[in-house]
Amino acid sequence: MNKLLEIALGVVTSIGGFLDAGTMAASAQAGARFGYSLLWALLLGMACIIFLVEMSGRLAAVSRHTLRDAVHKRFGLNFSLSLLAVSMILNLLVLACEIGGVSMALQLISGISLQWWVLPVAAAMWAVLWFGSFGVIEKGISIAGLITIAFIVGAWKLHPPGPDMLRGLLPSLPAQDKTNYWFTAVSILGANVSPYLMFFYSSGAVEEKWDQSHVTVNRFVAAIGMIFGASIAAGIVVVAARVLGPAGIRVDDYHQAALMLTPLWGWWGFLVFVLCLAIASFGAGVEVILAIAYELAQSFGWTWGKNKRARDEARFTLGYTAPILLASLIMVTGIEPLRLTMFTMALTCAALPLATFPFLVLLNDPIYMREHTNPRWMNYIVAGIVTLACILAVVALPLQIFGA
Amino acid sequence: MDLIRDILDTDVLDRNGRLMGKLDGIVAELRPGRPPVLKAIELGLATKARRLHRKLGRIVGRRSKPFRIAWGDIQDIGIDATVKLEAEKTPVLAFEKRVRSILLKIPGA
């Protein structure tokens, strides 16, 4: 019974981890511009992240060490700090996007410019981390994030054509706007396969004192949670395709995306969208901040853990305070959050090879994994993910320039 | 045991299980015609910087010195290394203590 409860809570948490400002933005643009034809990117991203998250959790449960720890030890200081540097830049940008997402939601509801909301939002995120324990932060925000199920309900009520959706599960080239199509596909993959999620997940497993008995729980949480999260993202694609696409709205900013639920529920639809954007971005923002602090602490050997008192892990606390300030400064400049989000999601792809390659080595290391090393078929899948990551890294920048 | 693979960059825990830092360096004495002897391990930013680049190591080394733990003070080495010392009584937590003194002024710390 306890394990079932753990799986249920873990699944809810995974939904929170999957859906953020990036996924919402990329999915809304994909649906509005290309109908169902980018559902394959969502499916591919979901498959990749299921495997990566499962392996991160398994490594943590079996070795009682985080992915970051293992990377530092097995790949050495130079590789570890290079990965950390890339990761920090990306995570700061992702955090700025999430702060921007919440601020934009507040702007949509209040009419007051998002720049005025940036610092209060950042302060609220910091307060949650300062006062909350890991369990409260993780589960509280994730349960609130269940409101995003509204997109699945919305998609269901709009009666999307089944055959068109099925066709969308296979890659196809559109007649026009090909570069933007591939840019959006790369952004969807970047939004879904976020490196921070793997580091956050494995740190969370250690925080919650997972051991070998959690290997099965981890498997269910990773698979069901990510499928559930991807279903919500698919719901956004479908709603955008049914509502925004036919109206000729291309989703160049969040104001346009906020209209997607209004044909269904009028003003309430607008409110639900705003709440979804605010909660998903806030939750993901808090997770990104924690991921930054975890990565810093685990790379430099600081005491870490959200279940400890701030005074007992001062450097870890500094590790989540400073990034909030830095990310806020990015958003205070008045940069358009949706553009920054799409740019960041595609940029994430450039870092994927560095973040995914260690899985090939670590998950086959018997010192860490004991009898839970990867079976051969899973190594082929990881090799496939690393290959895909390399391709994405190569095409991400040109697509940024020509397709964004 | 492979010194680089199995020891370098492991977490170093004190005798109470408190994390002290990463095992950033190994100090060995080279003896002509005889195998080298392991003398100590090093922790600290200066050692990290030196490993990244010699010049960077010199710059960082002017501001902070690495902390050495004698090889004999190592209790156990597995995925982590455990030493016989107490972290709070060593200089490795100097920065932690400085940040802590600031944090203690904030309500809820």
pLDDT digits over A39-98, tens only? 999 999 999 999 999 999 999 999 999 999 999 999 999 999 999 999 999 999 999 999
- Please tell me the distance from the alpha carbon of residue A386 to that of residue A58, in angstroms, as a whole number: 19
Angle at A305 between CA A327 and CA A280, to 5 degrees: 45
| Angstrom distance (rounded) from CA A237 to CA A45 | 14
Phi, psi of B76 (to 5 degrees): -155, 145
Task: Tell me if chain A has a CB within 8 Å of the CB of B38.
Answer: no
Residues A108-118: tens digit of each pLDDT: 999 999 999 99
Provide, as residue numbers in chain A, all residues whose Cβ is less than 8 Å from the Cβ of B19.
Answer: 301-304
Please name the residues in contact with A4: beta carbons below 8 A apart, sequence gap of 6 or more. none
The number of beta carbons lying within 10 Å of the beta carbon of residue A404 is: 14
Question: pLDDT-based confidence at B4, cuts 50/70/90?
Answer: confident
> Against a cut of 0.90, is the pTM above it?
yes
Contacts of A318 in chain B (CB under 8 A): 99, 103
Check CB contact of A308 with chain B, cutoff 8 Å: no
Does B59 touch chain A if contact means CB atoms closer than 8 Å? Answer: no
Q: Tell me which chain A residue has its CA closest to the CA of residue B11.
A: A301
Nearest CA in chain B to A74: B5
Quote the ipTM score.
Answer: 0.91
From the list B19, B22, B103, the residue facing A317 with the nearest CB is B103
Residue type, B95: F
Q: What DSSP line would sit under A294-353, residue for residue?
A: HHHHHHHT----TTS-GGGSHHHHHHHHHHHHHHHHHHHTT--HHHHHHHHHHHHHHHHH
Question: Cβ separation of A78 and B52 shorter than 8 Å?
Answer: yes
Which pLDDT value is given to residue A403?
66
- The Cα–Cα gap between A128 and A137 comes to 7
Which chain B residue is nearest to residue A75, measuring alpha carbons?
B5
Residue A101 near residue A20 (C-beta atoms within 8 A): yes
Q: Which of A64, A296, A303 to mutate to test the interface with B (most CBs of B within 10 A)?
A: A303
Q: Which parts of chain A register pLDDT below 50?
A: none
H helix or E strand, kind and range, residue A2: helix A2-18
List C-alpha distances in Å: A242 to A33, A157, A160, A239. Answer: 11, 11, 7, 5
Rg (chain A; Cα; Å):
20
Neighbours of A349 (CB within 10 A): 26
Q: Does B95 touch chain A (CB under 8 A)?
A: yes
pLDDT of residue B79: 86
What pLDDT does A250 receive?
84
Q: With an 8 Å Cβ cutoff, are B5 and A367 in contact?
A: no
Q: Is A322 on the interface with B (CB under 8 A)?
A: no
Cα separation, A151 vs A236, in Å, equals: 6
Count how many Cα atoms sit within 13 Å of the Cα of residue A364 in the half-sphere of its side chain: 13
Would you call A19 exposed, middle or buried from its count of C-beta atoms within 10 A (0-12, 13-18, 19+)? buried
pLDDT digits (tens, 9 = 90+) for B28-68: 999 999 988 999 999 999 999 999 999 999 998 888 889 99
Q: How far apart are CA A325 and CA A50, in angstroms?
A: 32
Residues of A in contact with B103 (CB under 8 A): 310-311, 314, 317-318
Query: Is there a contact between A385 and A374 (Cβ–Cβ < 8 Å)?
Result: no
Q: Does A82 touch chain B (CB under 8 A)?
A: no
